[in-house]
Chains A and B, each alone.
Chain A
Amino acid sequence: MTPQLVSATAPNGADHAAVPSSRQADMADMADMAEYLLWLGDDALVSAQRLGEWITNAPELEEDVALGNIGLDQLGQARALLSYAGELLGRNEDELAYFRDDVDFRCTHLVSLPRGDFADAVVRLLLVGAYSEQLYAALTTSADERLAGIAAKAIKEVRYHVEHAAGWAVRLGDGTDESHRRMQDALNRAWPYLDELFDPHPLTDHLDGIAVDPATLKEPALQRITAVLDEATLTVPATQRVAGGGRDGRPSEHLGPMLAVMQVLARAHPGASW
């Protein structure tokens, strides 16, 4: 299955062909559109927040720079997506980032898992990156031009992120016994959370031609991931998935404490500008 915009999977292909390419968000239900933007924006924001925790803690100075760069790219994506969502919801990016509680976030559980060691960072970057690579590539042809524009910028960044993660996965997987063990452990820890990224959801059906059915991203993303794992001499875990729920207001236990840190100052001064 190749990744595709939702409308392309609709039984009536003629409808799809009739959708003008300039179709804008206001043709879709604005609340649905905002919700979808929160999915993507919250994943990016929470990933960036975790990467921010790495700065000054990386194994090499070069990696402080690299993880910082990747975090900055993700933060940039988050800001573009949340600003857009905010315009639909009558709130700005900071109100969305700092004044929503964990149950109002829409990120998947994988991105909010605790920082862990460098192997966890590499694995997460690879898994989330491989998903995002497919997601943004598909969204570049979204009927919503603004979202397509955000995706066109993001896809260039995400390709680098995946390459960076793949390089480390191979180095660490096929490095020393210890690094191999740590990578396999990290992979085993993250794997049960991977499926949630690809869970189909009624929301994308409502955003005909605009959103991507996550299920269509799974096969190509897994191909990319397993190719890297093969080269890294790592084994695809046989572990079962865990229940997600991040898209539906059932966040991971880790999101609350993360937001408590992220939001503490902004919430101490409500209404203030920074």
Chain B
Amino acid sequence: MHGDHAPATSAGPAGPAEPSASGQSSFDRVIAGDGRIEPRDEMPDDYRKSLIRQISQHAHSEIIGMQPEGNWITRAPSLHRKAILMAKVQDEAGHGLYLYSAAETLGASREDMMQALLAGKARYSSIFNYPTPTWADIGAIGWLVDGAAICNQVPLCRASYGPYARAMIRICKEESFHQRQGFEILLTLSRGTPAQHELAQEAVNRWYAPSLMMFGPPDADSPNSAKSMAWKIKRFSNDELRQRFVDMLVPQAQALGLTLPDPDLRWNAERGHYDFGELDWSEFKAVLAGQGQCNVQRVEHRRRAHTEGAWVREAAMAHAAKKAARQQQSARGAA
């Protein structure tokens, strides 16, 4: 889950009413005992809505996130890289599918979730509103964006809602491969020609701060965090995860031979962590509010693909109906 999602502006589908007293106490017991809530269990309406919001936004992020990388499939500079990139973007479509399915177990419909995305009502991770002008962006997305996603998502493998946690286990395995391939792209560029090294550094300069902002606003400004942590959907705060990410990046950047664009970045022996500079949250808020370079383009692309595919989906439904009618008729004839 990317942490920069604001509360959904569209309410999720109305779930069942609040649990009975015994249902509530059983829910509380499961949460307290670090157990798993399953689709048929009673659960508070807020818990259901909060999960639908989080899981559908995560699904949308996977689907929209296919675009900045899909941008380089046709131009990937070697057949090996092309194959990896096609597989990666395809994995993301697969992640979207598992996540929509997980949300469906809570009573949301994929069609409604998709319509909310197309109508611009549902959010997805803001990071995908940044452009990918160079090949090195594919490396930077893998290393930084997928890296941040993993920091966010590994704890979600223990989230209290069973279908979400199980989907995350599979997704995290694939994401960790994605991150390694991003690192490897950057390493190859960094050790390549001076022009390639420059491409890698320039991409890292652009993606570093946005990737740190993927953990969401500082804890003090994060309205949904407390409840999610009480419900054990979320296990660590935005700032804790961000720190963990920076601590992980510094040695990796050294291995890459690339610089992280933060003059305030330094080891703090007392804390046992790296200190890092203030992030420009005004930019984060502007992109979240729709003013990123690609906000309009990303939703428009999805809307166009969906609209252009309408006749195909209609035909598939019509064919299925015809086939069912024919089968019924032949069954009647046989009777």
Closest residue to B62 on the A side, CB-wise? A61
* Chain B CB within 8 A of A188 CB: no
When the two chains form their complex, are residues B319 and A174 in contact, meaning their CB atoms are under 8 A apart? yes
Question: Which of B72-80, B157-165, B229-237, B269-277 participates in binding chain A?
Answer: B72-80
The 8 A CB mask of A136-152 against B (1 = contact, 0 = none) is 00000000000000000
Q: Tell me how far the C-beta of B48 lies from the nearest C-beta in chain A, rounded to whole angstroms.
A: 24
Chain B residue numbers with a CB within 8 Å of A94 are: 78-80
Q: Which of A49, A60, A170 contacts B319 (CB 8 A)?
A: A170
* Complex CA distance for A258 and B86, rounded to whole angstroms: 17
Give 1 or 0 for each of A244-274: 1 = CB within 8 Å of chain B CB. 0000000000000000011011100101111
A65 & B314 in contact (Cβ 8 Å cutoff): no
Please determine whether B79 and A269 come into contact, CB atoms closer than 8 angstroms.
Answer: no
Bitwise, B30-73 to A at CB < 8 A (1) or not (0) is 00000000000000000000000000000000010011001001
Q: With A265-B135, A269-B196 in contact, is A118–B79 under 8 Å at CB? A: no
Q: Main SS of chain A's interface residues?
A: helix
CB neighbours of B81 from chain A (8 A): 274
Residues in A neighbouring B100, C-beta threshold 8 A: 61
| Interface pair A65/B94, CB less than 8 Å apart | yes
Closest residue of chain B to A64 (Cβ to Cβ) is: B93
Shortest C-beta distance, A98 to chain B (Å), equals: 8
Q: What's the Cα separation between A175 and B318 when bound, in Å?
A: 5
Q: Contact size class for A?
A: 35 or more
A171 within 8 A of B: yes
Q: A223 contacts the other chain (Cβ, under 8 Å)? A: no
Q: Is the CB of A176 within 8 A of B83?
A: no
Judged by a CB distance under 8 angstroms, whether B290 is at the interface is: no
Q: Least Cβ distance of B223 to chain A in Å?
A: 31
User: Cβ of A176 and Cβ of B74 under 8 Å apart?
Assistant: no
Given the complex, which residues of A lie within 8 Å of B66, measured CB to CB?
A: 55-56, 64
Contact pick for A265, options B75, B94, B313, B320, CB 8 Å: B75
Q: Is the CB of B312 within 8 A of A72?
A: no
Interface residues of A in 103-120 (CB under 8 A from B): 117-118
Contact A61 B77 (CB under 8 A): no
State how many angstroms separate the Cβ of A175 from the closest Cβ of chain B.
Answer: 3
- A261 x B195 contact (CB < 8 A): no
Taken together as a complex, chains A and B put the C-alpha atoms of A223 and B301 apart, in Å, by: 39
A175 touches B316 (CB 8 A): yes
Cβ of A79 and Cβ of B312 under 8 Å apart? no
| Choice from B83, B96, B135, B311 contacting A61 with Cβ under 8 Å | B96
* Interface flag for A53 (CB, 8 Å): yes
CA distance A172 to B314 in the complex (A): 9
Residues of B within 8 A of A5 (CB): none
Q: Is A58 an interface residue (CB 8 A)?
A: yes
Do residues B82 and A55 form an inter-chain contact, with CB atoms below 8 A? no
Q: Please, which residues of chain B bring their CB within 8 A of the CB of A274?
A: 77-78, 80-81, 135, 185, 188-189, 192
Q: 7 closest A-B pairs (Cβ-Cβ)?
A: A59-B309, A175-B315, A179-B315, A68-B90, A59-B312, A56-B70, A171-B319
Extra inter-chain contacts (17) besides given A94-B78, A272-B195, CB under 8 Å: A52-B74, A52-B82, A52-B86, A55-B73, A60-B312, A65-B94, A93-B79, A118-B308, A170-B319, A171-B316, A172-B316, A175-B319, A179-B315, A264-B75, A266-B78, A274-B78, A274-B81
Between A and B, 7 residue pairs with Cβ closer than 8 Å are A56-B70, A79-B79, A98-B77, A172-B319, A175-B319, A176-B315, A179-B318
